[in-house]
Chains A and B, each alone.
Chain A
Amino acid sequence: DQQVKQNSPSLSVQEGRISILNCDYTNSMFDYFLWYKKYPAEGPTFLISISSIKDKNEDGRFTVFLNKSAKHLSLHIVPSQPGDSAVYFCAASGLSIQGAQKLVFGQGTRLTINP
């Protein structure tokens, strides 16, 4: 049972345009959501997060939107740059014993920014 799903394995966007990556979740107990970026042969890098008490969070070119009723979140990158080409993972967590934040990840979306 895939609790966090990224239904688009890949996305291609022209440089300078907006990239929109989507993520759906099924567990209504999730209350914290994160996006990670991953280059080949490196560990995932934290990008941006959002708590379930908010519906939007911005950090520079990156904005995350959360729609709790639809159990959907999206990551917007504006403007897209060649260095944004990577695999993007969304992740979710809920309350856990010992406060340990057990993350559940989506399958990832490979973003390619074309010049």
Chain B
Amino acid sequence: DAGITQSPRHKVTETGTPVTLRCHQTENHRYMYWYRQDPGHGLRLIHYSYGVKDTDKGEVSDGYSVSRSKTEDFLLTLESATSSQTSVYFCAIRASGEQFFGPGTRLTVL
């Protein structure tokens, strides 16, 4: 257990509304990541953070923004949700050379 929690675990929202997903870690890890998982694509990196206020884009960053104002929290925001952002979102931390994942958030955009 890498001490990672994600909230909410499930969310249904409507197209055009803003959505924020939260990732919380308890072990002071420097690196945090947001991925999305879709059928046929595996997991794809959205954004990552290498320290407080230090973030960068991943493979599929369009339509997403992130913030990290303290070590333990990494927020993923969909400014205006679209149906193509319906997915399962996983947060991860890096420890001992590997990444460890949270339980996921299932987001449905109607």
Question: B50 is contacted by which of A6, A36, A42, A99 (Cβ under 8 Å)?
Answer: A99
Known contacts A42-B104, A44-B101, A46-B99; is-contact A100 B31 (Cβ 8 Å): yes
16 further A-B contacts with Cβ under 8 Å, apart from A4-B42, A44-B90, A102-B59, are: A32-B97, A42-B103, A43-B4, A43-B103, A44-B43, A46-B98, A98-B50, A100-B31, A100-B48, A101-B94, A101-B97, A102-B58, A103-B99, A104-B45, A105-B35, A105-B44
The CA of A89 and the CA of B90, in the complex, are separated in Å by 14
Which single residue of chain A is at the shortest CB-CB distance from B97? A49
User: Which B residues are in CB contact (< 8 Å) with A44?
Assistant: 43, 90, 101
Interface size on B, residues (CB 8 A): 27
Residues of A within 8 A of B35 (CB): 105
Binary interface encoding of chain B residues 40-67 relative to chain A, with 1 for a CB under 8 A from any of its CBs, else 0: 1111110010100010101100000000
| Contacting residue for A104 out of B54, B59, B99, B103, CB 8 A | B59
Find out whether the CB atom of B42 lies under 8 angstroms from the CB atom of A108: yes
Give the secondary structure class of B's interface.
strand
Q: Which chain B residues numbered 74 to 88 have a C-beta less than 8 Å away from chain A?
A: none
In the assembled complex, how far is the CB of residue B106 from the closest CB belonging to chain A, in whole angstroms? 8
B92 contact set on A, CB distance < 8 A: 43
| A58-115 at interface with B (beta carbon < 8 Å) | 89, 91, 97-108
B56 touches A97 (CB 8 A): yes
Q: For the complex, what is the distance from the CA of A64 to the CA of B43, rounded to whole Å?
A: 20
A34 contacts the other chain (Cβ, under 8 Å)? yes
Q: Point out which of A4, A44, A45 has the most chain B C-beta atoms below 10 A from its C-beta.
A: A44
